[in-house]
Amino acid sequence: MLIEDKLKDLGYEFPDSPAPLANYVTVRKSGKRIYTSGSGPIVNGIPSIQGRVGSEVTLEQAYEAARLTAVNLLSMVKSEIGDLSRIRVVKLLGFVNSSPDFFRQAEVINGASDLFVEVLGENGKHARSAIGTSVLPFNIPVEIEMVAEVIDK
């Protein structure tokens, strides 16, 4: 089954790769490695949810925002290499827009990690960091960047 079909079965529309918002690229392939810029829960160019986790955004909403961010990261990678069945996720760096007393950042980023394993299986398992921050661009609750690699079939 295609990765895009698995995402559809999970209720996600596979988006076009988001356009960069400044003077950078959203994805860069170097050798077999693929590096993405940070991405968030953006739908049709606008944030699907905004606010700090632990005050304006619940843990459950932030978890779902991380899943949507993972879908956007996959669309970025697809725009670079075409075939998502050829990738292995190596590392995620996740930032969570957190209220001062919120300390469950890892549970938020689990949303992205869980989605990658659901659609990529073993190739979705990765190393990861989850960091709390006091603000993110456009007041999004989550921003994630990814390192992946192209694998031989």
> Is 10 part of any domain?
no
Residue 117 lies inside a defined structural domain of this protein = yes
Domain residues for the domain of 36 are 26-150
- Give a yes or no: residue 125 inside a domain: yes
Contact 74, 4 (CB under 8 A): no
pTM here is: 0.95
Q: What is the pLDDT of residues 57-113, one digit of tens each?
A: 999 999 999 999 999 999 999 999 999 999 999 999 999 999 999 999 999 999 999
- Residues 1-47 have pLDDT tens digits of 789 899 999 999 888 887 787 899 999 999 999 999 999 999 988 99
In a domain, 119, yes or no: yes
Element (H, E) at 61: helix 59-81
For residue 7, is it within any domain?
Answer: no
Number of domains in the chain: 1
CATH number at residue 82: 3.30.1330.40
16 touches 75 (CB < 8 A):
yes
pLDDT of 53 strictly over 90: yes
